[in-house]
Structure 1
Amino acid sequence: MKTILKTLSLCLAYVLVTFQVQAQDSTAVQPQRGDLDFAAKAMARNAFEIQAANIALQKSQNETIKHYAQMMVSDHTAAGEQLTTLVQQKNWELGKADDQKYEQMIQQLNDADAASFDQLYADLMAQTHTEAIELFKQAAEGNATTDNELKQFANEKIPGFQSHLDQIKTFKPTKMSTDIRDSVPNPKDTTHKKPLPKR
């Protein structure tokens, strides 16, 4: 009888320990609202950067812009894959972030003419990378994001975003844009009209 009771006690202890370990593991991967919000926003922002860069690769004739856009595709594709893997490993389900602002920016890029495209793209990249640095700093250093791996991901990406921002801030439009504008005749400009022949 004592042997049976001892065996039951050991089994009960094992079950309790196993339950506690499983509970700890489950708690460890449970996301907070801030974790899900940041991950969804980061995903949306990353997708925008790639889409905008692909438009730049198609529309721009400026080698500096094209090189920068190719870097955006490469860097943000890698970042997106890293974040996707992290989210999948934790079995998180992300909601759809508000991407109306990004849709409007994409429309601006699609509608821009050749003379204004490069400067518009550079301005948008400066804006979105400034915002990205602030978002990722909040995730890395703030209290809203609690998952350590997610905070580490955010912290690791900040130097790269800062480098992207610094590079695009140095962009100056080439003379090509001016040449394109000058090649379009102004109907009110009479300086280039040929004089009427004398009778």
Structure 2
Amino acid sequence: MKNLVLAGVASVALLGACNQGGDTAAQNADEAVNATQDAASGVVGQTSAATMGANTVEGFVTSLAVGNMYEIEAAKVAAAKSTNADVKALAAMIDKDHTAAGEKVTSVVATAAPNVTVPTTLDERRQGLIDNLKAATPADFDKVYLEQQVAAHNETLTLLNGFDDNTDAPALAGLARELIPTITAHRDRAQALMDAMN
């Protein structure tokens, strides 16, 4: 299984490298590395969400809060860099919905798990995604953003679906169930926009 995952990441990286439109060899190499990092991040994120986030209240809260912060930050980058009205509309929807979700997480944790600290900064992996998004060329930006969004929302869905029946933290499990339709809608819209570009 591990070899299949690594082969998949390598294939995505090679495809990404072949589709780069930079002007210089160094620029093409940087874009290929960023595409590889983004692809690997998606695999790592889903594995982490399935194994760590869904097993403990602290892991769930941390993964959900950091994921929310990443979504908001990425949406702000998209609002500033994208020239595609549909991508900008998706980013606005994500920003609004994830801001509301972040407020709910903080509120529910304050009453249901007061001993758990809600993180307030991005982790290194998600900061790397933001850095790659900021570094994307104008021609590649929408593709990079949408690919990241599909992977990030799949990661969040893995987390939410893994925690939605948790009996140790019923209020957080209820929040997980509440968020699933919104996260699914974001993922499906990002996927539809990506499919339309291909």
So what's the TM-score if we normalise by structure 1? Answer: 0.66
Q: Say whether 1:57 aligns with 2:79.
A: yes
Q: Which residue of 1 is the match for residue 117 of structure 2?
A: 94
Cα distance change, pair 172–46 in 1 and its aligned pair in 2 (3 A): closer
Of 104, 127, 137 in structure 2, the residue corresponding to residue 82 of structure 1 is 104
Cα distance change, pair 159–88 in 1 and its aligned pair in 2 (3 A): same
1:159 deviates by: 1.1
Of 132, 135, 154 in structure 1, the residue corresponding to residue 156 of structure 2 is 132
Q: What does 1:153-192 align with in structure 2 at a 5 Å threshold?
A: 153-172=175-194
Q: Say whether 1:146 aligns with 2:171.
A: no
1:173 deviates by: 8.2
Contact 2:75-2:91 within 8 A present in 1 as well: yes
Instruction: Show structure 1 runs of 5+ residues with no match.
Output: 1-32, 176-199
Q: Which residue of 2 is the match for residue 113 of structure 1?
A: 137
So what's the TM-score if we normalise by structure 2? Answer: 0.66
State the AA in 1 paired with 2:115: W
State the AA in 2 paired with 1:100: E
Instruction: Show structure 2 runs of 5+ residues with no match.
Output: 1-54
Superposed CA deviations along residues 166-198 of structure 1, whole A, max 9, x for unmatched, are 1111114889xxxxxxxxxxxxxxxxxxxxxxx
1:95 deviates by: 6.6
When the two chains are superposed, the root-mean-square deviation of aligned CA atoms in Å is 2.1
Structure with greater proportional helix content: 2
- Tell me how far apart the structure 1 counterparts of residues 138 and 122 of structure 2 sit (CA, whole Å): 29
Q: Say whether 1:71 aligns with 2:101.
A: no
Q: Which residue of 1 is the match for residue 4 of structure 2?
A: none
- Tell me how far apart the structure 2 counterparts of residues 34 and 170 of structure 1 sit (CA, whole Å): 33
Matched-pair identity in %? 30
Runs of 4 or more above 6 Å deviation: none
Larger radius of gyration: 1
1:77 deviates by: 0.4
1:75 deviates by: 0.2
- Tell me how far apart the structure 1 counterparts of residues 131 and 72 of structure 2 sit (CA, whole Å): 14
Contact 2:60-2:163 within 8 A present in 1 as well: yes
Contact 1:140-1:151 within 8 A present in 2 as well: yes
1:86 deviates by: 1.1
State the AA in 2 paired with 1:41: S
Q: Which residue of 2 is the match for residue 4 of structure 1?
A: none
